[in-house]
Protein backbone atom coordinates (compact mmCIF):
# COMPACT_ATOMS: atom_id res chain seq x y z
CA UNK A 1 0.00 0.00 0.00
CA UNK A 2 2.78 2.46 0.88
CA UNK A 3 5.48 1.15 -1.44
CA UNK A 4 6.56 3.75 -4.01
CA UNK A 5 4.66 6.41 -2.04
CA UNK A 6 5.97 9.61 -0.45
CA UNK A 7 4.73 10.00 3.12
CA UNK A 8 4.95 12.88 5.59
CA UNK A 9 4.12 12.70 9.29
CA UNK A 10 3.63 15.86 11.29
CA UNK A 11 4.82 15.56 14.88
CA UNK A 12 7.06 12.82 13.55
CA UNK A 13 9.46 12.83 16.52
CA UNK A 14 6.73 11.98 19.04
CA UNK A 15 6.04 8.51 20.45
CA UNK A 16 3.58 7.65 17.68
CA UNK A 17 5.70 9.20 14.96
CA UNK A 18 8.78 7.17 15.82
CA UNK A 19 6.81 3.92 15.94
CA UNK A 20 5.05 4.78 12.66
CA UNK A 21 8.38 5.46 10.94
CA UNK A 22 9.87 2.24 12.34
CA UNK A 23 6.87 0.20 11.15
CA UNK A 24 6.72 1.70 7.66
CA UNK A 25 10.45 1.27 7.07
CA UNK A 26 10.20 -2.39 8.15
CA UNK A 27 7.02 -3.31 6.27
CA UNK A 28 7.35 -1.20 3.13
CA UNK A 29 10.99 -1.40 2.02
CA UNK A 30 10.40 0.45 -1.24
CA UNK A 31 8.62 3.45 0.26
CA UNK A 32 9.75 6.32 -1.93
CA UNK A 33 10.19 9.01 0.71
CA UNK A 34 9.40 9.39 4.40
CA UNK A 35 9.43 12.94 5.78
CA UNK A 36 9.59 13.55 9.54
CA UNK A 37 8.11 17.02 10.11
CA UNK A 38 8.48 18.53 13.58
CA UNK A 39 9.64 21.70 15.31
CA UNK A 40 12.26 20.30 17.73
CA UNK A 41 15.71 19.96 16.18
CA UNK A 42 17.10 18.08 19.20
CA UNK A 43 14.42 15.38 18.93
CA UNK A 44 15.15 15.13 15.22
CA UNK A 45 18.86 14.77 15.98
CA UNK A 46 18.13 12.01 18.50
CA UNK A 47 15.82 10.26 16.05
CA UNK A 48 18.52 10.36 13.40
CA UNK A 49 20.76 8.31 15.68
CA UNK A 50 18.16 5.52 15.52
CA UNK A 51 17.17 6.05 11.89
CA UNK A 52 20.21 7.56 10.15
CA UNK A 53 19.76 8.72 6.57
CA UNK A 54 22.91 6.78 5.66
CA UNK A 55 20.99 3.57 6.37
CA UNK A 56 17.56 4.87 5.38
CA UNK A 57 18.16 7.16 2.38
CA UNK A 58 14.39 7.56 1.90
CA UNK A 59 14.14 9.43 5.24
CA UNK A 60 14.03 13.23 5.42
CA UNK A 61 14.04 15.37 8.55
CA UNK A 62 12.17 18.62 8.03
CA UNK A 63 12.05 21.27 10.77
CA UNK A 64 8.79 23.19 10.83
CA UNK A 65 5.64 24.00 12.79
CA UNK A 66 2.08 23.26 11.68
CA UNK A 67 1.33 26.88 12.59
CA UNK A 68 3.52 27.91 9.64
CA UNK A 69 1.43 27.51 6.50
CA UNK A 70 4.24 28.47 4.12
CA UNK A 71 6.61 25.92 5.63
CA UNK A 72 3.95 23.21 5.34
CA UNK A 73 3.46 24.05 1.68
CA UNK A 74 7.18 23.57 1.10
CA UNK A 75 7.20 20.28 3.02
CA UNK A 76 4.16 18.88 1.14
CA UNK A 77 5.76 19.16 -2.30
CA UNK A 78 5.62 15.73 -3.96
CA UNK A 79 3.93 14.09 -0.94
CA UNK A 80 1.22 11.45 -1.56
CA UNK A 81 0.15 10.66 2.04
CA UNK A 82 0.08 12.79 5.20
CA UNK A 83 -0.39 11.48 8.73
CA UNK A 84 -1.15 14.38 11.06
CA UNK A 85 0.09 13.57 14.56
CA UNK A 86 1.31 17.00 15.72
CA UNK A 87 -0.58 18.44 18.69
CA UNK A 88 -0.31 20.07 22.08
CA UNK A 89 -1.84 17.36 24.23
CA UNK A 90 -0.95 17.77 27.91
CA UNK A 91 -4.25 18.62 29.61
CA UNK A 92 -2.89 20.85 32.43
CA UNK A 93 -0.62 22.75 30.01
CA UNK A 94 -3.43 23.39 27.53
CA UNK A 95 -5.75 24.51 30.33
CA UNK A 96 -3.15 27.07 31.41
CA UNK A 97 -2.15 28.08 27.87
CA UNK A 98 -5.44 27.80 25.97
CA UNK A 99 -4.72 29.90 22.90
CA UNK A 100 -1.42 28.10 22.30
CA UNK A 101 -3.43 24.87 22.03
CA UNK A 102 -5.89 26.55 19.68
CA UNK A 103 -3.08 27.80 17.43
CA UNK A 104 -1.53 24.34 17.11
CA UNK A 105 -4.49 21.98 17.33
CA UNK A 106 -7.10 23.97 15.39
CA UNK A 107 -5.36 26.59 13.24
CA UNK A 108 -2.53 24.15 12.59
CA UNK A 109 -5.03 21.50 11.51
CA UNK A 110 -6.58 23.89 8.98
CA UNK A 111 -3.11 24.76 7.70
CA UNK A 112 -2.44 21.06 7.14
CA UNK A 113 -5.76 20.64 5.30
CA UNK A 114 -5.26 23.60 2.99
CA UNK A 115 -1.63 22.69 2.33
CA UNK A 116 -2.59 19.12 1.41
CA UNK A 117 -5.30 20.31 -0.98
CA UNK A 118 -3.02 22.86 -2.63
CA UNK A 119 -0.05 20.51 -3.01
CA UNK A 120 -1.80 17.47 -4.50
CA UNK A 121 -1.67 15.12 -1.51
CA UNK A 122 -3.96 12.11 -2.04
CA UNK A 123 -4.70 10.78 1.47
CA UNK A 124 -4.69 12.43 4.88
CA UNK A 125 -5.28 10.70 8.22
CA UNK A 126 -5.41 12.82 11.38
CA UNK A 127 -4.94 11.42 14.88
CA UNK A 128 -7.64 12.22 17.42
CA UNK A 129 -8.20 11.25 21.07
CA UNK A 130 -10.90 9.87 23.32
CA UNK A 131 -10.93 13.29 24.99
CA UNK A 132 -12.55 14.72 21.84
CA UNK A 133 -15.82 12.89 22.65
CA UNK A 134 -18.03 15.13 24.84
CA UNK A 135 -14.96 17.19 25.80
CA UNK A 136 -14.67 18.88 29.18
CA UNK A 137 -11.12 20.21 28.76
CA UNK A 138 -9.59 22.50 26.19
CA UNK A 139 -7.38 19.80 24.70
CA UNK A 140 -10.44 17.65 23.98
CA UNK A 141 -12.34 20.64 22.62
CA UNK A 142 -9.53 21.57 20.23
CA UNK A 143 -9.26 17.98 19.01
CA UNK A 144 -13.02 17.76 18.47
CA UNK A 145 -12.77 20.92 16.39
CA UNK A 146 -9.82 19.43 14.51
CA UNK A 147 -11.83 16.26 13.81
CA UNK A 148 -14.65 18.36 12.39
CA UNK A 149 -12.22 20.28 10.19
CA UNK A 150 -10.69 17.12 8.73
CA UNK A 151 -13.97 15.31 8.10
CA UNK A 152 -15.54 18.43 6.57
CA UNK A 153 -12.50 19.02 4.33
CA UNK A 154 -13.89 16.36 1.99
CA UNK A 155 -16.73 18.76 1.19
CA UNK A 156 -14.55 21.45 -0.38
CA UNK A 157 -11.81 19.45 -2.08
CA UNK A 158 -13.45 20.16 -5.45
CA UNK A 159 -12.23 17.90 -8.23
CA UNK A 160 -8.99 17.09 -6.46
CA UNK A 161 -8.24 13.42 -5.79
CA UNK A 162 -7.80 13.68 -2.03
CA UNK A 163 -9.45 12.06 0.99
CA UNK A 164 -9.43 13.10 4.64
CA UNK A 165 -10.23 10.79 7.57
CA UNK A 166 -9.60 10.59 11.32
CA UNK A 167 -8.59 7.85 13.77
CA UNK A 168 -9.62 8.16 17.41
CA UNK A 169 -8.29 5.98 20.22
CA UNK A 170 -7.55 6.00 23.94
CA UNK A 171 -4.44 6.45 26.05
CA UNK A 172 -1.29 5.00 24.49
CA UNK A 173 0.39 2.68 26.96
CA UNK A 174 3.79 4.04 27.92
CA UNK A 175 3.74 7.11 25.67
CA UNK A 176 5.67 10.15 26.81
CA UNK A 177 3.89 11.88 29.69
CA UNK A 178 1.41 9.02 30.27
CA UNK A 179 0.55 7.35 33.56
CA UNK A 180 2.69 4.19 33.27
CA UNK A 181 6.08 5.96 33.11
CA UNK A 182 4.80 8.29 35.85
CA UNK A 183 3.91 5.38 38.12
CA UNK A 184 7.21 3.63 37.38
CA UNK A 185 9.05 6.74 38.52
CA UNK A 186 6.85 7.28 41.59
CA UNK A 187 7.35 3.63 42.55
CA UNK A 188 10.79 4.62 43.85
CA UNK A 189 9.20 6.84 46.50
CA UNK A 190 6.90 4.15 47.91
CA UNK A 191 3.77 6.24 47.23
CA UNK A 192 1.58 6.31 44.12
CA UNK A 193 -0.70 9.34 43.66
CA UNK A 194 -4.20 8.17 42.66
CA UNK A 195 -6.63 10.75 41.33
CA UNK A 196 -9.78 8.73 42.08
CA UNK A 197 -10.18 5.04 42.92
CA UNK A 198 -13.12 4.72 40.51
CA UNK A 199 -11.20 6.07 37.50
CA UNK A 200 -11.03 3.97 34.32
CA UNK A 201 -9.24 4.45 31.03
CA UNK A 202 -9.02 2.92 27.56
CA UNK A 203 -5.64 1.51 26.62
CA UNK A 204 -3.91 0.90 23.30
CA UNK A 205 -0.32 0.10 22.42
CA UNK A 206 1.74 2.16 20.00
CA UNK A 207 1.87 -0.85 17.68
CA UNK A 208 -1.91 -1.11 17.57
CA UNK A 209 -2.23 2.64 17.07
CA UNK A 210 0.03 2.41 14.03
CA UNK A 211 -1.94 -0.58 12.72
CA UNK A 212 -5.14 1.43 12.97
CA UNK A 213 -3.67 4.29 10.94
CA UNK A 214 -2.41 1.87 8.28
CA UNK A 215 -5.84 0.22 8.20
CA UNK A 216 -7.49 3.61 7.78
CA UNK A 217 -5.15 4.53 4.93
CA UNK A 218 -6.07 1.30 3.17
CA UNK A 219 -9.82 1.52 3.83
CA UNK A 220 -10.78 5.20 3.98
CA UNK A 221 -13.30 6.74 1.64
CA UNK A 222 -13.18 10.20 3.20
CA UNK A 223 -14.94 11.73 6.19
CA UNK A 224 -14.91 8.75 8.55
CA UNK A 225 -13.67 8.59 12.13
CA UNK A 226 -12.20 5.14 12.83
CA UNK A 227 -12.55 3.97 16.46
CA UNK A 228 -10.93 0.67 17.53
CA UNK A 229 -12.39 -1.74 20.05
CA UNK A 230 -9.78 -1.73 22.79
CA UNK A 231 -9.67 -2.84 26.44
CA UNK A 232 -10.15 -0.72 29.54
CA UNK A 233 -8.31 -0.77 32.84
CA UNK A 234 -8.98 0.50 36.34
CA UNK A 235 -6.44 2.95 37.69
CA UNK A 236 -6.22 0.94 40.91
CA UNK A 237 -5.40 -2.23 38.93
CA UNK A 238 -2.65 -0.37 37.11
CA UNK A 239 -1.24 0.78 40.44
CA UNK A 240 -1.25 -2.83 41.69
CA UNK A 241 0.40 -3.97 38.48
CA UNK A 242 3.21 -1.43 38.71
CA UNK A 243 3.87 -1.39 42.45
CA UNK A 244 1.74 -3.58 44.73
CA UNK A 245 3.98 -2.64 47.63
CA UNK A 246 3.30 1.09 47.36
CA UNK A 247 0.87 3.10 49.44
CA UNK A 248 -1.85 4.95 47.51
CA UNK A 249 -2.41 8.65 48.09
CA UNK A 250 -5.73 10.00 46.78
CA UNK A 251 -5.01 13.42 45.26
CA UNK A 252 -8.28 14.17 43.44
CA UNK A 253 -9.13 14.63 39.79
CA UNK A 254 -7.08 17.31 38.04
CA UNK A 255 -8.71 20.27 36.25
CA UNK A 256 -10.15 19.14 32.93
CA UNK A 257 -9.89 15.43 33.74
CA UNK A 258 -12.72 12.90 33.41
CA UNK A 259 -13.52 10.01 35.74
CA UNK A 260 -14.16 7.79 32.70
CA UNK A 261 -13.20 8.33 29.06
CA UNK A 262 -15.61 8.10 26.15
CA UNK A 263 -14.94 7.56 22.44
CA UNK A 264 -18.47 7.36 21.03
CA UNK A 265 -21.24 9.35 22.65
CA UNK A 266 -24.93 8.51 22.53
CA UNK A 267 -25.42 11.22 19.91
CA UNK A 268 -22.42 10.03 17.87
CA UNK A 269 -23.88 6.51 17.79
CA UNK A 270 -26.71 7.68 15.52
CA UNK A 271 -24.28 7.79 12.59
CA UNK A 272 -21.91 5.01 13.68
CA UNK A 273 -21.42 1.53 12.22
CA UNK A 274 -20.05 -1.39 14.22
CA UNK A 275 -17.64 -4.03 12.90
CA UNK A 276 -15.89 -6.93 14.59
CA UNK A 277 -12.81 -4.99 15.70
CA UNK A 278 -13.73 -1.34 15.27
CA UNK A 279 -16.42 1.30 14.78
CA UNK A 280 -16.73 3.82 11.96
CA UNK A 281 -18.38 7.16 12.67
CA UNK A 282 -19.76 8.45 9.39
CA UNK A 283 -19.65 12.15 8.50
CA UNK A 284 -22.82 13.94 9.55
CA UNK A 285 -22.77 16.10 6.41
CA UNK A 286 -22.63 13.82 3.39
CA UNK A 287 -24.44 13.13 0.14
CA UNK A 288 -23.38 9.52 -0.15
CA UNK A 289 -20.89 7.29 1.57
CA UNK A 290 -19.76 3.79 0.70
CA UNK A 291 -19.78 2.58 4.29
CA UNK A 292 -23.40 3.69 4.67
CA UNK A 293 -24.49 1.81 1.56
CA UNK A 294 -24.18 -1.59 3.22
CA UNK A 295 -21.42 -2.84 0.92
CA UNK A 296 -19.04 -3.13 3.90
CA UNK A 297 -21.45 -5.07 6.12
CA UNK A 298 -21.35 -2.73 9.08
CA UNK A 299 -24.11 -2.85 11.69
CA UNK A 300 -25.69 0.46 12.76
CA UNK A 301 -25.26 1.05 16.48
CA UNK A 302 -28.40 0.71 18.54
CA UNK A 303 -30.25 3.72 19.88
CA UNK A 304 -28.69 4.94 23.11
CA UNK A 305 -25.39 3.12 22.53
CA UNK A 306 -22.21 4.71 23.82
CA UNK A 307 -18.66 3.47 24.03
CA UNK A 308 -16.85 4.47 27.21
CA UNK A 309 -14.16 3.03 29.43
CA UNK A 310 -16.41 2.27 32.40
CA UNK A 311 -19.01 0.28 30.39
CA UNK A 312 -16.51 -1.65 28.28
CA UNK A 313 -16.85 -5.42 27.95
CA UNK A 314 -13.09 -6.08 27.79
CA UNK A 315 -10.86 -5.35 30.80
CA UNK A 316 -7.15 -5.74 31.39
CA UNK A 317 -6.24 -7.74 34.49
CA UNK A 318 -3.34 -6.86 36.78
CA UNK A 319 -1.20 -9.60 35.23
CA UNK A 320 -2.11 -8.56 31.69
CA UNK A 321 -1.09 -5.01 32.54
CA UNK A 322 2.25 -6.25 33.84
CA UNK A 323 2.86 -8.22 30.66
CA UNK A 324 2.02 -5.17 28.55
CA UNK A 325 4.41 -3.00 30.56
CA UNK A 326 7.20 -5.52 29.99
CA UNK A 327 6.37 -5.90 26.30
CA UNK A 328 5.78 -2.26 25.42
CA UNK A 329 7.33 0.01 28.06
CA UNK A 330 10.16 -1.54 30.09
CA UNK A 331 11.51 -5.01 29.19
CA UNK A 332 13.29 -5.15 32.58
CA UNK A 333 10.13 -4.45 34.57
CA UNK A 334 9.67 -6.90 37.44
CA UNK A 335 7.44 -7.10 40.49
CA UNK A 336 8.84 -8.79 43.57
CA UNK A 337 6.81 -11.87 44.60
Write down the pLDDT at residue 157.
87
Residue 116's pLDDT is what?
Answer: 98
Q: Which domains does the chain have, with CATH numbers?
A: 6-169+204-229+262-307 (3.40.50.720)
**Choosing from 19, 89, 123, 131, which is the catalytic residue?**
131
Q: What is the pLDDT along the chain (337 residues), one digit of tens a residue?
A: 799 999 999 999 999 999 999 999 999 999 999 999 999 999 999 999 999 989 999 999 999 999 999 999 999 999 999 999 999 998 889 999 999 999 999 999 999 999 999 999 999 999 999 999 999 999 999 999 999 999 999 998 888 999 999 999 988 988 877 899 999 999 999 999 999 999 999 999 999 999 999 999 999 999 999 999 999 999 999 999 999 999 999 999 888 889 999 999 999 999 999 999 999 999 877 655 666 655 567 899 999 999 999 999 999 999 999 999 999 889 998 887 6
Question: What phi and psi values does residue 280 have, to the nearest 5 degrees?
Answer: -130, 115
- Those residues whose C-beta lies under 8 Å from the C-beta of residue 61, and which sit 6 or more positions away, are 35, 36, 44, 47, 48, 53
Residue 188 a catalytic site member: no
Q: Which of 228, 118, 111 is nearest to 166 (CA)?
A: 228
Beta strands in the chain (DSSP E): 6-10, 33-38, 59-63, 81-84, 123-127, 163-167, 171-172, 191-194, 200-204, 225-228, 232-234, 247-250, 262-264, 272-274, 278-281, 299-300, 307-308
- Four-residue CA torsion sign, 136, 137, 142, 146: negative
* Residue 26 CB contacts under 8 Å (≥ 6 apart), including other chains: none
Q: 216, 124 in Cβ contact below 8 A?
A: no
DSSP string, 120-135: T--EEEEE--GGGSS-
Amino acid sequence: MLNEQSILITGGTGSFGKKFVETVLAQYPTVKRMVVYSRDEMKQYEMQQTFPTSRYPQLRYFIGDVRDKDRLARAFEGIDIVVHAAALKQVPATEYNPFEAIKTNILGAQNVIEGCIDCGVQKVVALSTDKAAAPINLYGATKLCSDKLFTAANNFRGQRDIKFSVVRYGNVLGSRGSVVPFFLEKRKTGVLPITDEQMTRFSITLEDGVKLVLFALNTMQGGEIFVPKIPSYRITDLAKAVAPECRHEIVGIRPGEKLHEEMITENDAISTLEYDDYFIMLPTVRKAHGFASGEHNGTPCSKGFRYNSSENTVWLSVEQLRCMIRDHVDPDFLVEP
